[in-house]
Amino acid sequence: MEYQKAAELNGLCNGKIVTEYLCRNGFSELSVDTKKVAVQHKNETSRKEAEDESRLPALEAAYTTILRGLGENTDRQGLLKTPLRAAKAMQFLTKGYHETIYDVLNDAIFDEDHEELVIVKDIDMFSLCEHHLVPFFGKVHIGYLPSKKVVGLSKLARIVEIYSRRLQVQERLTKQIAMAISEALQPVGVAVVIEAAHMCMVMRGVQKMNSRTVTSAMLGVFREDPKAREEFLALTKSA
Amino acid sequence: MERPKQKQVSQSENETDAAINGHFDGRVKMPGWRAGGAAGDPSTVPSSSVMESWREERTRSLEDNEMSLPSIAAAYTTILRGLGEDPQRQGLLKTPWRAATAMQFFTKGYQEKIIDVLNDAIFDEDHDEMVIVKDIDMFSMCEHHLVPIFGRVHIGYLPNKRVLGLSKLARIVEIYSRRLQVQERLTKQIAVAITEALQPAGVGVVVEATHMCMVMRGVQKMNSKTVTSTMLGVFREDPKTRDEFLTLIRS
């Protein structure tokens, strides 16, 4: 049930995908109540590029308030344009909200008679922790077992970009990537592993410099067949 | 150089403005050093206001933090809405408060004074060989984009009858790095603080950092690192000393 919620939340643009999502073999835990999702989707506001410009002044004003609240002098040379730069930076770091999977994927799915594991690993990922608004970053490893359809390799990295450039929780990010690939390709199985360092743990709070968080999502044959999972994990292990 | 002119103007207007971000440019008169350590800089800063400025850096107190928390949290709520998110969803309900507290933590250097940290840990010791503390993890915030900077600081100094507790070097790094910073200024502030506290024969500081504003956005170069250094006193004048320092931090 939690997976269902995970698909809806922070999935401002994958509401479209989720409404079309049906039960599949091996994916039965991820069945979605389409009525519930449609209602959720109506309440979410989507952000388009044109709106970014119009929202900048409000963001700038907010950042100026923050700088003053921290005790800084907003008139000094180094901080004069900082509210604008910080607002634009934040919009860039959350640009995944106005990108859709379909825009990225639609043309690059090919019919190919390949039934062996395809892995794209060490995809650098940068995201923002939704609890502290502080970056977390790391690497994503994606593997899938195609079922007559393969996807352009860079599209896997683009899917990572779309979902990571948002306010995220690492668990949800992993699941969203896996589900997007499942939905687009209907492969035999999908595996996604993310290993990241969370600045909210490194720079503040418990302050553990070397800690890394690893999450994974195994769907289809990767969930059911331990050997397939082992092969994926062995191939993505860095030396 | 723009900065010295800026300093002089602001100093004449308002003494508190003389410390930008607690900064005082490093034209400090040291016993036995040539005046105006920066190459050929003829103007001098009245040492009393410089000496005082590094002791009076605190611009914020714990009470200030508590009082400004609601307005910073409200600003973060505005930001969340402005980005198109829904601040009422479960994951974001308390985010404005958490983000505001986190930001206050990342700028806690404004609450601390060097003198509080150092005063008790300066010892008279007849040691005149180089002392190095290296690989001090450093976390700062870029003042231009409000995005983290992190890396390592290596500090070396040649004592002149007075040594400093080793963790105090790391604490000086903490005080200056937990602010809205520019890496060049951070390096200089650390070096000058140690100079002022100990009057050593020389100080060398090297900061090597990754700037998230370059990695996560903008030019997006994952592996780039920025290295800045400040050499004062004998580290600036004697190439052999400097070499020894740089070799030892590299090993």
CATH number at residue B102: 1.10.286.10
Is A72 within 8 Å of B98 when comparing Cβ atoms?
Answer: no
- B217 and B173 housed in the same domain: yes
Q: How confident is the model at residue B7 (pLDDT cuts 50, 70, 90)?
A: very low
| Domain of residue B194, CATH code | 3.30.1130.10
User: What's residue A239's pLDDT?
Assistant: 57
Residue A114 bears catalytic tag: no
Interatomic CA distance for residues B100 and B73, integer angstroms: 5
Q: Are B18 and B10 spatial neighbours (Cβ–Cβ below 8 Å)?
A: yes
Which residues 11-50 in chain B show a CB within 8 A of chain A?
Answer: 17, 20-21
Interface confidence (ipTM) of the complex: 0.76
User: What's residue B20's pLDDT?
Assistant: 59
Comparing A69 with B119, the larger pLDDT belongs to A69
Q: How confident is the model at residue A9 (pLDDT cuts 50, 70, 90)?
A: low
* pLDDT above 70 (res B39): no
Nearest Cβ partner of B6 from A68, A77, A126? Answer: A77
CB atoms within 10 A of CB A229: 18
CA-to-CA separations, A8 to A2, A34, A127, A156, B207, in angstroms, rounded: 10, 10, 19, 21, 44
Span A175-188, pLDDT tens digits: 999 999 999 999 99
* pLDDT above 50 (res A64): yes
* Domain final position from B93, B110, B127: B110
Interatomic CA distance for residues B81 and B217, integer angstroms: 21
- B80 and B119 housed in the same domain: no
CA-to-CA separations, B225 to A209, B142, B187, B194, B207, in angstroms, rounded: 18, 14, 15, 25, 10
Mean pLDDT of A4-9: 46
Interatomic CA distance for residues B224 and B183, integer angstroms: 14
User: What's residue A221's pLDDT?
Assistant: 95
- B244 and B124 housed in the same domain: yes
Is A65 within 8 Å of B72 when comparing Cβ atoms?
Answer: yes
Count the helix, strand and coil residues of chain B and give each as a percent rounded to the nearest 5. 45, 20, 35
B73 contacts chain A (CB < 8 A) = no
Domain membership of residue B45 (yes or no) is no
User: What's residue B58's pLDDT?
Assistant: 63
DSSP run (H or E) holding B71: helix B62-82
Domain membership of residue B36 (yes or no) is no
Domains of chain B: total: 2
User: What's residue B32's pLDDT?
Assistant: 42
* Domain final position from B95, B110, B125: B110
User: What's residue A100's pLDDT?
Assistant: 87
Interatomic CA distance for residues B238 and B231, integer angstroms: 10
Comparing B59 with A233, the larger pLDDT belongs to A233
- B174 and B151 housed in the same domain: yes
A42 contacts chain B (CB < 8 A) = no
Interface test mutation site (partner B, options A47, A73, A133, A171, max chain B beta carbons within 10 A): A133
Is B143 within 8 Å of A78 when comparing Cβ atoms?
Answer: yes
Q: Are B218 and B228 spatial neighbours (Cβ–Cβ below 8 Å)?
A: no
Residue B144 bears catalytic tag: yes
* Type of residue numbered A239: A
Active-site position among B104, B142, B181, B189: B142
DSSP SS3 for B247:
helix
A2 contacts chain B (CB < 8 A) = no
Compute the count of residue pairs across chains A and B with CB atoms less than 8 Å apart. Answer: 163
Q: How confident is the model at residue B10 (pLDDT cuts 50, 70, 90)?
A: very low
Q: Which of A11-20, A147-156, A220-229 has the lowest mean pLDDT?
A: A11-20
Sign of CA dihedral B9, B15, B17, B18: positive
Interatomic CA distance for residues B4 and B231, integer angstroms: 19
At residue B49, what are phi and psi to the nearest 5 degrees? -70, -30
- B221 and B162 housed in the same domain: yes
Q: How confident is the model at residue B251 (pLDDT cuts 50, 70, 90)?
A: confident
Is A204 within 8 Å of B86 when comparing Cβ atoms?
Answer: no
User: What's residue B21's pLDDT?
Assistant: 64
User: What's residue B46's pLDDT?
Assistant: 38
Interface test mutation site (partner A, options B146, B177, B213, B224, max chain A beta carbons within 10 A): B146
- B127 and B232 housed in the same domain: yes
Span B209-218, pLDDT tens digits: 999 999 999 8
What's the gap in Å between the CA of B234 and the closest CA on chain A? 31
What range does the domain containing B224 cover?
115-249
Interatomic CA distance for residues B205 and A135, integer angstroms: 27
Is A97 within 8 Å of B85 when comparing Cβ atoms?
Answer: yes
User: What's residue B55's pLDDT?
Assistant: 45
CA-to-CA separations, A35 to A30, A31, A59, in angstroms, rounded: 15, 12, 34
User: What's residue A28's pLDDT?
Assistant: 36
Domain membership of residue B32 (yes or no) is no
Interatomic CA distance for residues B182 and B14, integer angstroms: 23
Mean pLDDT of chain A: 82
Active-site position among B52, B56, B127, B145: B145
Which residues 142-181 in chain B show a CB within 8 A of chain A?
Answer: 143-148, 150, 180
- B155 and B137 housed in the same domain: yes
A97-111, B6-20, B178-192 — which one is most confidently predicted on average? Answer: B178-192
Domains in chain A with CATH codes: 34-97 (1.10.286.10), 108-236 (3.30.1130.10)
Interface test mutation site (partner A, options B24, B83, B213, max chain A beta carbons within 10 A): B83
Domain membership of residue B202 (yes or no) is yes
Q: How confident is the model at residue A87 (pLDDT cuts 50, 70, 90)?
A: very high
Active-site position among B11, B111, B183, B189: B183
Q: How confident is the model at residue A6 (pLDDT cuts 50, 70, 90)?
A: very low
Domain membership of residue B20 (yes or no) is no
Q: Are B213 and B243 spatial neighbours (Cβ–Cβ below 8 Å)?
A: no
Q: Which of A45-59, B65-79, B207-221 has the lowest mean pLDDT?
A: A45-59
A169 contacts chain B (CB < 8 A) = yes
Domain membership of residue B48 (yes or no) is no
Mean pLDDT of B211-226: 93
Span A122-142, pLDDT tens digits: 999 999 999 999 999 999 999
Span B19-32, pLDDT tens digits: 456 544 434 444 44
What is the percent of chain B where pLDDT is above 90?
64
B72 contacts chain A (CB < 8 A) = yes
Sign of CA dihedral A10, A14, A19, A22: negative
Mean pLDDT of chain B: 81
Q: Return the residue of A nearest to B85 by Cα.
A: A45
Nearest Cβ partner of B146 from A45, A46, A82? Answer: A82
B150 to chain A: which residues are within 8 Å by CB? 199, 202-203
* pLDDT above 60 (res B12): no
Give one word for B191, left, alpha or beta, with left for phi > 0 and alpha for psi -120 to 50.
alpha
Domain membership of residue B19 (yes or no) is no
Q: Return the residue of A nearest to B3 by Cα.
A: A77
Residue B213 bears catalytic tag: yes
pTM across the whole model: 0.77
Comparing A96 with A41, the larger pLDDT belongs to A96
Is B85 within 8 Å of A77 when comparing Cβ atoms?
Answer: no
What is the percent of chain A where pLDDT is above 90?
63
CA-to-CA separations, A25 to A28, A29, A216, A219, B148, in angstroms, rounded: 6, 10, 20, 10, 44
Q: Are B99 and B115 spatial neighbours (Cβ–Cβ below 8 Å)?
A: no
Comparing B31 with A96, the larger pLDDT belongs to A96
